[in-house]
Amino acid sequence: MFGKICPYCKERIKKDALICRYCHKELDAPQDGNCSSSLWVLAGFMGLFLGAATALGFGYLNERRRWEADTEEVAFHEDTDSNQ
């Protein structure tokens, strides 16, 4: 119910109040642009998911590059052994 503090008299007032009930001064209108905490949690999980997917993708590409290099070395050794 009470959600903010009056910037003039420092009393606790309702978060949607337009006028302080103690000092009767006009307050700034509440902003509707605030995101709820559930959206922040969802954004956090999406960030973790995308970060993990990116890490797995780079790990896969690195391992594939290393596997291809090992395969080329084996093929090179087989070619040089068969020529002798």
**Percentage of residues in the chain with pLDDT exceeding 90?**
51
Both 43 and 77 in one domain: the answer is yes
pLDDT of residue 62: 94
- Chain centroid to CA 13: 33
Q: Are residues 79 and 57 in the same domain?
A: yes
Mean pLDDT of all residues belonging to the chain: 85
Q: Domain range for residue 21?
A: 1-30
Please tell me the distance from the alpha carbon of residue 27 to that of residue 33, in angstroms, as a whole number: 17
Residues 51 and 12 in one domain: no
Domain tally, the chain: 2
Q: Is 70 exceeded by the pLDDT of residue 76?
A: no
Residue 29 binned pLDDT confidence (cut-offs 50, 70, 90):
confident
